A = this chain, B = another copy of it.
Amino acid sequence: MQYSPLVKRIAGDGADAWVVHYQARSAQERGEDVILLSVGDPDLDTPAPVLERAIERLRAGDTHYTPATGRQHLREAIAAAHLVRSGQPVTADNVIFLAGAQNALFVTSLCIAGPGDEVIALEPLYPSYPATLEVSGARMVRVAAPAAQGFRVDLAALEAAITVKTRAIFFATPNNPSGVIQSESDLAALGDLARRHSLWVVADEVYAGLAPNGRVPSLAAELPEQVVTISSLSKSHAMPGWRAGWLVGPRQLVIHAEAMAQCMLFGLPGFVQEAAVTALSVAPAAESRVREYCAMRRELLLAGLVGLRGVKCFAPDAGMFLLLDVRGTGLSGYDFMCELYRTERVSVLDGGAFGRETSGFVRVCFAADEELLRRAIVRIRRFVETLVR
């Protein structure tokens, strides 16, 4: 039977990079002694008031249809949270609640670009980006935030990549995997290009709650008609399984996104939406809980890997991940990942999954049980010392 051309555009998911992770997860399920530092899903529970609110709404029968945009008071709560984070005053009309930030990226991608268009994505980038941006039929153009520049965007390369076909610039701030927060000055230059070329700016701020004070520099207030801000509760509240995310943008985009949400989702669970309202109401406490959890472990890992010959830590501004530069060992990120797992049963992720700039790196998630992290440090040290010897 025949499939649409679209299926080829979404087929590449960088599955190779996950091979060790899947092996490790299976081994873990079999009860074997493995340490998983390959994904960003900390061993933290959903904040208790959020959980109780969901249960209360379930028991109250809040299990019927809901509006495709999300409920009005949830959209108002998101608008208020967005103002605090970005400084951009918006109303519920600028907000649509969606099934996670990934879903919001998907909707944005399909609404703003199509066949014949180009969209720029700053690299390193999350492995789901190519499929998400090319599902629309647009071509994704990678612009490096080079390792040699501390993973800050190469503004000359960015400008050179813009053509008449360019519709948008996508980036994550804080970045995954580098943990770099876009600086005010880099954003200003990027915003200048966006203004001059009438480009969409799509800021994936899913890790922004983990930045100092839960805030990152944003272009949203300055370019309200061009900036789309995407976020969720997954990272900031340790609620990835709830699929609670959103986009904030110009009114017309939200109207289009609503039409898409209507035929794509037909509304999301009411009890999840009410839990999300509660989550936003306890955001300061919930976010600092995860932030402190991560910050403490970031220091632990950085200290634990210091002075190790052949590898260098790239200290992140924020987030749950640390890039380990393994070029000094003579191994690629991929081979380092495979060998580390084979010999020490520690699962990390090949940096190559995020693009060429990180192919000599591995990404280590430090949002893990403290004791486990200490054991992982011992094993990583032992592995690297064997290599260098």
Contacts and interface: CB of A to CB of B under 8 A. Distances in A.
Interface in A238-285: 239-243, 250, 252-253, 256, 259-260, 262-272
A interface bracket (residues with beta carbon within 8 Å of B):
35 or more
B112 A4 contact: yes
A117 interface: yes
Contact of A1 (B10, B115, B200): B200
B239 A63 contact: yes
Q: How many copies does the complex hold?
A: 2
Contact of A264 (B3, B59, B103): B103
Contacts of A190: none
A131 interface: yes
Contact of A103 (B45, B200, B241, B265): B265
A210 B368 CA distance: 47
Interface in A50-93: 51, 54-55, 58-59, 61-66
A198 interface: yes
A64 B240 contact: yes
A167 interface: yes
Interface string A1-13: 1111111001101
For chain A, what secondary structure do more than half of its interface residues adopt (helix, strand, loop), or is it mixed?
A: loop
A266 B128 contact: yes
A120 to B, nearest CB: 15
A100 B63 contact: no
A236 to B, nearest CB: 14
Given A54-B58, A132-B263, 17 more contacts: A3-B111, A3-B112, A3-B252, A4-B110, A10-B256, A10-B262, A10-B263, A13-B262, A51-B58, A63-B239, A63-B242, A99-B99, A102-B266, A241-B267, A241-B269, A242-B269, A243-B266
Interface of A: 1-7, 10-11, 13, 39, 41, 45-46, 51, 54-55, 58-59, 61-66, 99-100, 102-103, 105-106, 110-115, 117, 128, 131-132, 135-136, 167, 198, 200, 225-226, 239-243, 250, 252-253, 256, 259-260, 262-272
